[in-house]
Structure 1
Amino acid sequence: MAEIKFGTDGWRAIIGEDYTFDNVRMVVQAISDYLNKGSGREKEVVIGYDMRFLSEKFASAAAEVLCGNGIKVLLSKDNISTPATCLAIKNRKLDGGIIITASHNPAAYNGIKYRGDFAGPADPEMLKEIEALFRKNKPKLMSQEEAKRKKLLKIEDLTKEHIAFLKQYVDLKLLKKSSMKVVIDVMNGAGEDLLERVLEGTKITINTINSERNPYFRGKNPEPIASNLEGLISIMKKGGYNIGLATDGDADRIGAVDEKGNFISSHKIMSLILLHFIEDRKMKGSVVKTISGTSLLTKIAKKYKLKLHETPVGFKYICKIMREEDVLIGGEESGGIGFKNYIPERDGVLSGLLLMEMMAYRKKSISGILDDIKKEYGDFFTKRLDMKYPEDKKSRLIPALKKSPPDKLLDSKVREVQSFDGIKFICEDESWLLFRLSGTEPILRIYAEANTEKKVDSIIKSAKEMALKI
């Protein structure tokens, strides 16, 4: 049996191997012990779950453990997105939240995300405390019938308040004037019919695809990247729609396709929404990106004199800053973006709505807006390669690159080296290269950005060769 640990965003494992009812109960017992530690006050936690195999059963098992420990539980009546679960924490002033989901992972996986009382990803310190409590106590169980009698368990429709919030966050009055046509691929995930319900009563046409429950996700990972969105891209290439959107398994990530069928990277999506907030909505605040984020965000923040933070990969680091200061937007390369005046969490459906709002506000196609950005800031091509990398080389790679860093990437001189998460080389022409090692697999992740697709491909190729020579 593999060691159970919280990764970048929760614990994930293969169903039937390490992800079993016994292990779910064990993890939730540790969460219960953490919540009950040092306080006699009665605690209350929300539980949400996605559309994966047995997610609702695992959620019920989690509820039985929490209630067995005297913790009140608000259990979602149906599958629900991660942001909707987090919004319930904020609205109802709860002590935390558990989401049964493996997000964008393959179909064989399920997982547990834990959220703090601030409605965002738990801090690394909190997760370490919970991990230290694993297997300290045998899970205490209480049946749902007994929990209901003792008023420890409530089962409610929590999606309604999420839809109500989204309706007031976006400019619904503006969107009602639009007659745009939108396709959204919810990738058999918790995004389900959310966009349709938010825009009900408008003239906007919504075509939702892959909304049925399919625990196999049609043989694809529910991750909104180009290689998983051939169907959406094909629909967009045929014409007739203004934008294509996609959300992942728990609907906290966004993908997009323009009206010509071109995939829009998550880097450009975040840049689009940042500019929409600054230029159209006249909003202010700081900007948070991860070390693998585009330099386009840096240029925009510099132009508008906005404070910019750069964090390690993982939304929990972005969340921490969002809790501490007035953050306008914070996001990561995976397509998870959080926004001002909301919760310190990502929301894929809200991201899509804000892209639509920007198009309606500017009365332009999404490709037209991207062309305007290119003229103003230049072009940015960002790519990532995940390659198998020998375990014996993993421990040597970063120290070797720190000791002997490259002077140049292709023909561009390296002007800065960052090493707070992997190692990143930034060049004078704003191109860059990042090496990051997986902590759980023999995988090396290589990220690069340049002003042409050819150059970014060449940087990744040379980086691969560099890594294999170590």
Structure 2
Amino acid sequence: MIKFGTDGWRAKIGEDFTFDNVGRVSLAFAKYIKEKFKNPEVVIGYDTRFLSDDFAKFAGRVIAEEGIKVFLSDRFCPTPAVSFFISSQKLSGGVAITASHNPYYFNGYKVREWFGGPASPETTSIIEKIIENIDWEKEKQRFKKESPDTVKREDIITPYIESVRADSEIDKFLKKIKGKIIFDVMHGACSGLPTKIFGKKAVEVRSELNPLFPPFGKPEPTPYTLTPLQTYCKKFKCDGFAFDGDGDRIYACSKEGKIIDAHKIFAILTEHMVKHKKQKGKVYKTVTASDIIDKIASYYGLEVITTPVGFKHLIKGMIEDNAIIAGEESGGIGMSYHLKERDSLFCACVFLTHSIIEGKDFSALVKDIEKRFGKHRYIRKDFHVSDEIKEKAVKTAEEIDKINGFKVEKIEKIDGTKIRFKGGGFLLVRPSGTEPVLRVYAETESEETSEKIINSFAKMLNIKPE
């Protein structure tokens, strides 16, 4: 059974992610688009994973056979490039063949809507129902020939790069960049793009194409997978960034080799939007994001809206509710004036612009916001557990009135169970709805304390992290 998750359908290559299943999804997507738009046009992009180009070609063939004009990227590209092409060309939608940050043996199918951003749960639900009614064994005979003339190879990278440069205004500040900027592209779809913008000032790490994504087996920027970035930042004494496999997640690193997580990047970009871009509106964040976002927003008089996990929940705020910026714990951050979508390369350019305007390197930027808004030390641990333990975890969390000396002030149920402590800080318990995984998060003023809180909660359930 094909089911869409947080952002798209993902499966193991050769098991469930096959040409037949890509064909099924593509035919359902085409039928959905035909029903909703007159004279529809779509774009298809793909990442650097094993067979992504071939899967994209086949998806284009299926969609084009339904009478839809298809633009197929002429090379691998980040998902935001697909999103920008949809938005700028006023297309009906698009597809990105990518499993984003997942392990190398996965691939995926992301659907993008007319505005360029992730498909809503309502849209993917309709596509899933169409898939159920497709007799693929009968339909597949139509798609054995080569792609119709309505599939056109297109350069979607160049206009995307131009939009990143223009919207971030980075070109005004290139000459003021001292030394190098390190970009860990993690063997992913952003390979080569930093050099297009920064020229010789860019040092790209893990830029060679390798669908095994060594040394960690997945292109996911986390505090535990960025050793190459840290090594290069210390070697060149320069600040740097890391992007995930399809270019919609961002982390950063100081010249001292200290990882700067997505929460701090989100916080600093929020300040930039108000202070230097003079933007006014709301800030949207997922329930897993740090409380430092709320403090910065409050300081500048901005309302914060908290949503369940998944950028698809943030998109609604960007489209309908004047959200000037939206972000999530994983590093997906979007700014509405550029795209209704996460964009790591664009965020990096804006972050650099802010750094130059403020006259502070990355470490100084972090120290500055912590001096004004306090320290926020965030820890997340994942536990592989049964459904029974998941249920017990939720019940246990709801009954806590004190943990490690922290008294409970209130409990929020936006997505999972979030326990807020008197005086600040929280514990969040989120059972996965699709995997046998329990995710536990904590934020206090110190990493040690946050970790102890998670360990104490795990001890209540007699479980250990993965």
* TM-score, with structure 1 as normaliser: 0.94
What's the CA shift string for 1:218-275, capped at 9, x where partnerless? 142100112111111122233521x111100001111111111000111011111111
Q: Cα offset for 1:400?
A: 5.0
| Partner in structure 2 of residue 75 of structure 1 | 72
Mark the CA change 1:409 to 1:239 in structure 2 (over 3 Å): closer, same or farther: farther
What's the CA shift string for 1:341-378, capped at 9, x where partnerless? 12211001111112211111111111112111111111
Query: In the alignment, is residue 55 of structure 1 matched against residue 52 of structure 2?
Result: yes
| Partner in structure 2 of residue 19 of structure 1 | 17
| Partner in structure 2 of residue 366 of structure 1 | 362
What's the CA shift string for 1:111-161, capped at 9, x where partnerless? 00001111101111111111111141234645775611xxx2211110000
Identity of aligned residues (%): 39
2:43 alignment partner AA = V
Query: In the alignment, is residue 199 of structure 1 matched against residue 195 of structure 2?
Result: no
| Partner in structure 2 of residue 462 of structure 1 | 456
2:112 alignment partner AA = R
What's the CA shift string for 1:205-229, capped at 9, x where partnerless? 1111111110101142100112111
| Partner in structure 2 of residue 236 of structure 1 | 233
What's the CA shift string for 1:379-437, capped at 9, x where partnerless? 010111011112322244324544x2x11232222112111211100112211011111
Mark the CA change 1:38 to 1:49 in structure 2 (over 3 Å): closer, same or farther: closer
Does the aligned pair in 1 maintain the 2:64–2:147 contact within 8 Å?
Answer: no
1:174 alignment partner AA = F
Q: Cα offset for 1:55?
A: 0.1
Give the distance between the partners of 1:163 and 1:456, measured in 2 at CA.
40
Give the distance between the partners of 2:313 and 2:175, measured in 1 at CA.
36
Mark the CA change 1:233 to 1:144 in structure 2 (over 3 Å): closer, same or farther: farther
Does the aligned pair in 1 maintain the 2:61–2:146 contact within 8 Å?
Answer: no
Give the distance between the partners of 2:225 and 2:5, measured in 1 at CA.
23
Give the distance between the partners of 2:456 and 2:397, measured in 1 at CA.
14
Structure 2 residue runs without a partner (length 5+): none
Q: Cα offset for 1:311?
A: 0.4
Q: Cα offset for 1:280?
A: 2.9
3-state SS of paired residue (1:213): coil
- Listed as ranges, the matches of 1:442-453 within 5 Å are 442-453=436-447
Does the aligned pair in 2 maintain the 1:185–1:247 contact within 8 Å?
Answer: yes
Does the aligned pair in 2 maintain the 1:144–1:153 contact within 8 Å?
Answer: no
Match of 2:285 among 266, 284, 289: 289
| Partner in structure 2 of residue 419 of structure 1 | 413
- Listed as ranges, the matches of 1:12-411 within 5 Å are 12-37=10-35, 41-137=38-134, 138=136, 139=139, 141-142=142-143, 147-148=148-149, 152-171=150-169, 172-200=171-199, 205-220=201-216, 221-241=218-238, 243-399=239-395, 401-402=397-398, 404=399, 406-411=400-405
Q: Cα offset for 1:38?
A: 6.1
What's the CA shift string for 1:327-352, capped at 9, x where partnerless? 22100000010003122110011111
3-state SS of paired residue (1:187): coil
Query: In the alignment, is residue 432 of structure 1 matched against residue 430 of structure 2?
Result: no
1:90 alignment partner AA = S
Structure 1 residue runs without a partner (length 5+): none
2:155 alignment partner AA = D
1:440 alignment partner AA = T
1:181 alignment partner AA = K
Give the distance between the partners of 2:300 and 2:145, measured in 1 at CA.
54
| Partner in structure 2 of residue 10 of structure 1 | 8
Does the aligned pair in 2 maintain the 1:175–1:360 contact within 8 Å?
Answer: no
Give the distance between the partners of 2:422 and 2:279, measured in 1 at CA.
31
Give the distance between the partners of 1:28 and 1:76, measured in 2 at CA.
16
Give the distance between the partners of 2:353 and 2:397, measured in 1 at CA.
44
What's the CA shift string for 1:297-337, capped at 9, x where partnerless? 00111111101110000000001110102222100000010
Q: Cα offset for 1:284?
A: 2.2
Give the distance between the partners of 2:147 and 2:84, measured in 1 at CA.
27
Does the aligned pair in 1 maintain the 2:237–2:256 contact within 8 Å?
Answer: no
Give the distance between the partners of 2:297 and 2:461, measured in 1 at CA.
33
3-state SS of paired residue (1:305): coil
Does the aligned pair in 1 maintain the 2:392–2:461 contact within 8 Å?
Answer: no
3-state SS of paired residue (1:284): coil
Does the aligned pair in 2 maintain the 1:239–1:260 contact within 8 Å?
Answer: no
* TM-score, with structure 2 as normaliser: 0.95
| Alignment root-mean-square deviation, CA | 1.6
Give the distance between the partners of 2:174 and 2:322, measured in 1 at CA.
27
Mark the CA change 1:233 to 1:293 in structure 2 (over 3 Å): closer, same or farther: same
Greater displacement, 10-19 / 229-238: 229-238
Give the distance between the partners of 2:360 and 2:284, measured in 1 at CA.
27
Mark the CA change 1:303 to 1:214 in structure 2 (over 3 Å): closer, same or farther: same
3-state SS of paired residue (1:238): helix
Give the distance between the partners of 2:189 and 2:145, measured in 1 at CA.
24
2:408 alignment partner AA = V
Give the distance between the partners of 1:179 and 1:269, measured in 2 at CA.
21
1:85 alignment partner AA = V
Mark the CA change 1:449 to 1:351 in structure 2 (over 3 Å): closer, same or farther: same
3-state SS of paired residue (2:111): strand
Give the distance between the partners of 1:174 and 1:276, measured in 2 at CA.
15
Q: Cα offset for 1:64?
A: 1.0
Give the distance between the partners of 1:38 and 1:351, measured in 2 at CA.
32
Q: Cα offset for 1:196?
A: 1.4
